[in-house]
Structure formats: structure tokens, C-alpha cells
Amino acid sequence: METTINDSQTTTASTASLSEKLTSFSEIATRYSVVIVLAWIGAMKFTAYEAGAIQGLVASSPFISWIYSVLSVQATSNMIGTIEIITATAIAFGYLNKRLAVAGALAAVATFTLTASFLFSAPGWEASLGGFPALSVVPGQFLLKDIVLLAVSIGLLGKALARD
């Protein structure tokens, strides 16, 4: 009988240890996956290809379409890329400073809230399938991932705010 209790306790302890390790790894992987996405896409914004690719999204947004009256297509893309790279850097180095972590997470929440809003402002419903809720591949399905990135960014913000 003693062996059964010890085996059960050992299994429970092993499961708890594995759970803690997976949770710790997941938190690090989550943070740096957002960093990679923001830095990579941010760097792409400095190319004419990416500036042209986002032009329709920006132009159709009720929140930022005005920017093309102030900046050129490439300058707008460069500004967005700069913000994304700064956000990625703040998240990457947020472990050093709570304020930096909070600022980076807030910027990511704002970024992904804005890009997720493009789902509703950009033409993205596939007409051949009857329109809403059938998303086109671009931009609809391309933007859908931003809902997950928004949720992850909210989680990063919660973690940052909970730090001492």
C-alpha cells in the first residue's frame, strides 16, 4: 500500500514539475514569438513591396486613412515599421524593466487592435462564397491571425502589470 501512495505522489510531483516547465517555456516562447513577428513584419515595412501591400488596408481604415494626406505611402509604411520594431524591442527587453515591459505590451495591444479592425474596414469578404462571414485569403485570412496576436499581447500586458 505504501508503494502505491509513493508512486501516486511521485507521479503527481512529476506532472506538476512538467507543467511548471511547460508553462515557463510557453511564457518565454509567447513573448519572443511576438517579438519575431513584430520585428520581421516591421522590417519588411521599409520595402516598397510591403508599403504597397498595406496601402489598401491603411486607406480603408476609419482610424488611420487620414495619414496618407500627411505622409507618402512609403513614409507611412516606414513609420509603422519603426513603431513595430520599437514595440518588438520593448517586449524583448521588457524583462529588464517593468515600465518597458508594460509600454511594449501596450504598444502591441494597440497595434493588433488596429490591425484586427482591418477585418471590418478592408474589403475582405469573399463575394463568390456569399460575403460575410467567408473571408478572402488576402486580406481576410491574413488578418485573422491578429486576433490571436491581440490576445497574446493582452496576456503579455497582464504579466507585465503583475510584476514587482
User: Is residue 92 situated within a structural domain?
Assistant: yes
Per-residue pLDDT 10s for the chain (164 aa) are 455 566 666 677 788 899 999 999 999 999 999 999 999 999 999 999 999 999 999 999 999 999 999 999 999 999 999 999 999 999 999 999 999 999 999 999 999 999 999 888 877 677 777 776 667 766 767 788 899 999 999 999 999 999 98
User: Is residue 86 situated within a structural domain?
Assistant: yes
pTM of the model as a whole: 0.84
User: Is residue 76 situated within a structural domain?
Assistant: yes
User: Is residue 7 situated within a structural domain?
Assistant: no
User: Is residue 13 situated within a structural domain?
Assistant: no
Q: Count structural domains, the chain.
A: 1
Q: Which domain holds residue 127?
A: 25-162
User: Is residue 9 situated within a structural domain?
Assistant: no
User: Is residue 16 situated within a structural domain?
Assistant: no
Contacts of range 151-157, beta carbons closer than 8 Å, 24 or more positions apart: 152/30, 152/33, 152/34, 153/34, 153/105, 153/108, 153/109, 153/111, 153/112, 154/109, 155/30, 156/30, 156/31, 156/34, 156/91, 156/101, 156/104, 156/105, 156/108, 157/102, 157/105, 157/106, 157/108, 157/109
User: Is residue 20 situated within a structural domain?
Assistant: no
Q: In whole angstroms, how far apart are CA 147 and each of 44, 67, 136, 142?
A: 21, 24, 16, 11
